[in-house]
Amino acid sequence: MKAAVYLGKESIEIKEVEKPEVKRGEVLVKVHSCAICGTDVRTYFHGHHAINPPHILGHEVAGEIAEIGEDVEGYKSGERVHMVTEVGCGKCKFCMEGRQNLCPDLRAMAYYYPGGFAEYILIPREGVIQGNLLPIPYGLSFDETTLAEPLSCCINAQEYLNITSGETVVVVGAGPIGCMHTELARLSGAAKIILADISEERLELGKKFGANVFVNSTKEDLIERVKDETENAGADVIIVACPAPQAQEQALQMIATRGRISFFGGLPGGKTIVIESNIIHYKEISIFGAFASSVRQYKQALELLAGKKINGDDLITHRFPLEKIKQALEVARSGKGLKVIINP
Ligand SMILES: [Zn+2]
Ligand SMILES: [Zn+2]
């Protein structure tokens, strides 16, 4: 089969590799669509501590079942499926709670196992048992289905935030993740959503997702603007959806009393930040992390996309065949689009 094999920083090649042999308990999926994630871009350009090349990247996968191994029940050949990335141990307290994303022995697809920038992807036995293949709801395209992975991560983050009707939400970062957060916040009834970015192009693309206020933070002081927009109260919820330490630090400066902050995603190189903890103390602020997502949240994401509650169409701006993956990664990095999809 054809696969895009990551060989190290800025090196990826289309190669003919062996099509995985399907053993007992495993399922082979023919990949129709695999979207590029920020992590793929970072890995390609900067490397990744948990990925040893040669390796096949790509974890936002939608396709159809091509082959089913012995002893697998509940799936049929040709069935349209979305892949859950997180494969847990199945035994620890987090796996028991359905939070595979927090399993200390997490073996993720496209990290531990080969990923979906290839014609086929093999779902390991552990994944099949844990329900890592979800049926794609009727009417949802393969391309749109890939959005369920990042969307499920946003759902995970927002479950901690409990956004309620009438609240003001600030989303820092107007990339695909920021746009999805904006849409979810709107669904939760946020009255005012302030979307901020340092790129004018990104802000322009972000206009289709229901924010009310757009701030280019290179041209305008975001903290001041948030104060103006909230009669000095600050925002009830702030979601930092960009890998900038300053953005995390700024969040404390514009949060309302009893506000909730999400640090969505990590900082490059495990950077540290300085925060005035007295703000957390006096204003009873909560700061939440969010990492990946669980099977339940993937299901929720698929339903939201199928029900057109999330504007999937506008989130996808580019499509490329597997052969053009280098170009696709460049586009994804440039910030000139939102989601970039590979169709192997
Ligand atoms: Zn992803
Ligand atoms: Zn576990």
pLDDT tens by residue, 272-308: 999 999 999 999 999 999 999 999 999 999 999 999 9
Task: Kindly give the distance from the C-alpha atom of residue 51 to the centroid of ligand 1, in angstroms, as a whole number.
Answer: 15
Domains along the chain? 2-147+310-343 (3.90.180.10), 152-290 (3.40.50.720)
pLDDT on residue 334? 93
Cα 181 off chain centre by: 10
Q: What are the strands, taking DSSP E only, across the chain?
A: 2-8, 11-16, 27-35, 60-68, 80-83, 120-123, 133-135, 168-172, 192-197, 213-216, 235-240, 255-264, 286-290, 316-321, 339-343
Q: Which ligand is nearest to the CA of 115?
A: 1
Q: Name the average pLDDT for the chain.
A: 96
pLDDT on residue 242? 93
The predicted model gives 312-318 an average pLDDT of 95
Task: Kindly give the distance from the C-alpha atom of residue 70 to the centroid of ligand 1, in angstroms, as a whole number.
Answer: 30
Task: Kindly give the distance from the C-alpha atom of residue 293 to the centroid of ligand 1, in angstroms, as a whole number.
Answer: 10
pLDDT tens by residue, 120-162: 999 999 999 999 999 999 999 999 999 999 999 999 999 999 9
The predicted model gives 72-80 an average pLDDT of 96
Residue with tokens 């499509």: 319
Q: Which ligand is nearest to the CA of 153?
A: 1
pLDDT tens by residue, 242-283: 999 999 999 999 999 999 999 997 888 889 999 999 999 999
